[in-house]
Structure 1
Amino acid sequence: ALVNFERAHCGDAAQDLAHYALAAGLDDDAEDALLRGYADALDREGRGDRRVIVRFFARKTLGMFAQPCARLARLARIKRGEVPVMGDPVVALEEEAQRAYREIARAINGLRELGGRARPIGPREVMAMGRLLAVEEVILRDRAFRIALLGQPYSGKTEIASLLARRLPRHRLIGTVAMARALARVEQDLAGDGAQTPPRALVARLFERGFDLEPKQDPPFYAAKLDGRDVTDELRDDGPLQIRGAQLLDDEAVRAAVRDALVERSASEGLVIEGEYAAQLLPGRGHVFFVVADAGVRCARLLSHRGDFTDDAAAAEHLRHLDAGLPAPPLDAVHIEVGARTAAAATLEVLWQLLPPGRRPPNDLTGRAPV
């Protein structure tokens, strides 16, 4: 019938075959039989064209990706309250998301036919690539957390912290390195008075001058503001501010002053503190995470951040030196094994840990996406 339709110029046979295969839910064997029968019929008429097979799989894959796209649009409408649902809307969102995972896995597997039939993937691997339309946004929307991110040097802590601060509404980002150097800059400006500034007065002056870190998508993943102007590059330069900033943060009196100042400023907002001493700066009870990444990933990140390192061996040696001085993580810290995953995937795992236990999806987000 399809051959006759094509002979009469009544449509695209490859597209019709793809629509039929999707609607009928054909498995691989049935699909192969359908395509062989169609190709053989064309060959008997001397009109064989093997390109129709490629066109078939291309159209079928587009059709399969259209299904989860429509489901994602429905998820968005449910979140906005435009689609009424029976029962708990969060449960409805989770069920819709699981269907979308299965449909996306099916669509990605459809691409295998265009690339030599690589191994199939499952919904769990799709989930590892990133949660869809963030069910956790509904659950975490009105909550304020106090989060400390510790971990190995060059494991992606700053990027993860920035993603968290952008993903969670009303959460302030604090990078300990940037804040320490800003403190050193404020101390430097006050040095003309001739007297040493007490820690609490120094910290108070820092926030009076409008110190703030705005989370950003691109490196260095924040924009530092002081006196209403951007001082990001100044705080990132190695030099006197780096040395004095580290000395200030080593002082328990300074850390106590910072902690108390954060208590005052976090009454109605959450905190995401990243870097050394993050756990000690966390006011009150909070969530502590320790980030660990693959050595190769850390080396690559170091080489991209530091122009004075030019080869893997030197970078690896520097990382070993940094790791030797790394304090042991707090006993209550939750380890986030980033491995070779993206910072976005690690951020999703942190969000999963923040969910109430009864609201956590049955499958965690620790699996790696396929290479």
Structure 2
Amino acid sequence: MSGTRLPAAVLRDGLWQAVLGGSEYDAVDVVRAGLDAGWEEEALLLDVVAAVQERIGAEWAADRITVAQEHAATAINERVITVLVHRPAAGRPVPPHRGRVTVTCVDGEWHAFPARLVAEVLRLRGWQVDYLGAQTPTPHLVAHQHHTDSDAVLLSGSVPTHLPAAHAAITACQAVGVPVLAGGRAFGADGRFARALGADGWAPDARGAAAALEAGLPRPTAVRQAVDDLPHLADQEYTLVVRSRSHLVKQVLTDLESRFPAMRGYDAAQRERTAEDLVHILDFLATALYMDDAEVFTGFLEWTSEVLAARRVPVHSLVTGLDILAEQLHDFPRGLRFVREGAAALSGGVGCGHPARDDPRQRPPNPHPDHHAAAPDAQS
């Protein structure tokens, strides 16, 4: 039960000021004050710490804090979590032992903060948790299941470009008889991508994950291949775009320089960042092809345009790059359609079918930790 003397807004503001000022001690004092006021650990984790972490991401995206400030604030929040969950247990009720689960991030996913929150909430509720952290390769995840025989794997993903890797992890865990509960922004605000990839369940947040586990997940019995879940993969567009990524980036860069004269004055660092932008664009396009969902691509473009605008980078260069990319994809019907829809969305075109979304919880977080078009992690 939350304390009545210290409202959530007061605690969140105190923690925000502490992490923004780089003071770990002040941050710890805030959550300890919450405990003294009657707040439970889980409520502090989810209603205070996670809320502040989400604000960190929003402030970074709006260019109001730097990458260094974001990293420092996130590191302080990580240590605050440790203080909250590793304090003396005297006087606290002992939760019942519920079973053993694995909490991990998709291979390639370095946003571990949401998974850490889930792991700690489950521990507080009586689960034995094997927390594997960020970027767990699927073979190692499966090997861990052989050693532990988990009741479930909780798979966290924040960046949609890791959905193909998530699919591999889901099917591999299920093949050894372990159900998978998916969570995180990568799987869609409504969990539709988790369902499309055949996950045994989806949870919007840590409380939802705990509820799903307590309700029980059946052990899987059937072994599937990727094309069983996503038959559109048979057209090979996803595979061919992935294989052609380097060539496409080089070609678009070459043509962009001739059509966007400002690029001729770019220094080496600016050219490198432009190439990185193109890599991210192609990664999101490939993922849209994998899922056969244009909104994966258009949503990323809309979010990227907002981040670029906040940094006073001309967004029309992004539209020009998409036009050039479309010329290169004349043999890819789905890919060409997605790119045209993305360009229409950025240009305010009518009929693209995917209007800009206003809910920040639906926007993809940072595809790259130190890039001007990347956002820090936040609560799933």
Given the two structures, how large is their TM-score scaled by the length of structure 2? 0.26
Give the structure with higher Rg (CA): 1
Given the two structures, how large is their TM-score scaled by the length of structure 1? 0.27
